[in-house]
Amino acid sequence: MAEKTIRIGTRDSELALWQAHTVEKQLNTLGYKTQIVAVKSQGDLLLDKPLYELGITGIFTKTLDIAMINGQVDIAVHSMKDVPTALPIGIVQAAVLERANPNDILVHKGALDFLDQNGIIATGSLRRQAQWLHKYPNHQVVDLRGNVNTRMQKLHDNEWNGAVFAAAGLERIQLLPENFIDLNWMVPAPAQGAMVIVAMQNDTFSRDAVSELNDIETEICTYIERQFLKTLEGGCTAPIGAFAKYNETEDTIAFHGVLLSIDGKQKLEIEKIVPIEEWKKLGFHLAQEILNNGGIALMQQIKNDLKK
C-alpha cells in the first residue's frame, strides 16, 4: 500500500471533530495513514443571521470544499443533511457511512404541559419550524443556530420550553439529556443521521481508500431522499422532509416525504412502498407527484415568503 497520508478536513466543532475522528479510526483500522486538519467555517462565525437569509446553501461545507480544491486536505467528512445536492465541480461523494438515528427530538425543560397550551420552541430549521407549527399552531417558534453545544447552552439560558435537535448529533457527542422526547411524527431532513465523505474526483488513492467504508443501504436511501429534495427545489431552503427505509425481508423501500408552507398551515405529503429495483428514479418520481398536486404553487409561495 502506498504511504500517502490521507488528510481529513473537518470543521472545528465538537460534533464535526467526532465525525472526522470516527472516519480516521476506520481508515487506520484498514491500514491507512491519516491526519486531521481542522478548518474554521464561515457558518460558525455568522451566528446573527438565519442561514437561509445568507442566500447560500452549504455554508458549512463551502470552507472545506475550498480547502480541498486548494490541496490543503484530501477528504472531508460532513453530516450529509448539510451537504448541497449539487457538489462543486471536481468534488465527488466517496462514501456514505452507515446511518445512525435519523429522528428529530425535542429537548425540553421539565414539564410537557406546554404542548397542550402556548409554548415557545427554538429551531433554526425551516423544516422543523413548519412541521412543529403544523402540529402546534398556537406555539411560537424562535430562531436557534450555532453548533450543538452552543444551541444547548442557548436553550439553557433562555425562557423557551424546548428546542428541536437531530438525535444523532447529541448521541454522537454524549450530549443527550434525560429530558427529551422522540418526535417520531416529524419527517427528518433528507439524509439526516448519515455521514458522507467527499474527495477530489482525480484523487483515486483517497477515493479507493474511503470507498471501503461505504454502506450500500444508507447510500441508496440517502440518494432517494436527496433526489426528492433536489427535484422539489434544488437548494436547501424550503421546509422539506424525506425518509427512505429499506426492508430486507420484503426487498422493498418505504418512503415518506413532506413539503410544507413556512407557517406550517399547508402540508403536502407522500408515502409509498416500492420494490428495491425502482430506487434510482424513486425520489424524482415522488417529488414530481408532489409538484403536480399543488407543490409548484407552494414552492413559489415559499420563495415569495423568504424574500419578505
74, 82, 104, 203: which is the annotated catalytic residue?
Answer: 82
Could you tell me the CA-to-CA distances from 194 to 47, 169, 197 in Å, in that order?
24, 10, 10
C-alpha cell read off for 191:
439524509
Residues in the chain: 308
C-alpha cell read off for 132:
412543529
Task: Report the side by side order of strands in the sheet with 267-275.
Answer: 240-247, 252-260, 267-275
Distance CA 4, CA 69 (A): 18
Contact call for residues 244 and 224 (beta carbons, < 8 A): yes
- Range 173-185 burial, b when 16+ CB lie within 10 A, else e: bebbeeebeebee
Please list, in sequence order, all residues whose beta carbon lies within 8 angstroms of the beta carbon of residue 237, skipping any fewer than 6 positions away: 52, 57, 126, 302, 306
Q: Which of 201, 218, 128 is nearest to 164 (CA)?
A: 128
Strand partners, 85: none
**Residue 143 annotated to the active site:** no
Q: Which residues are catalytic?
A: 82
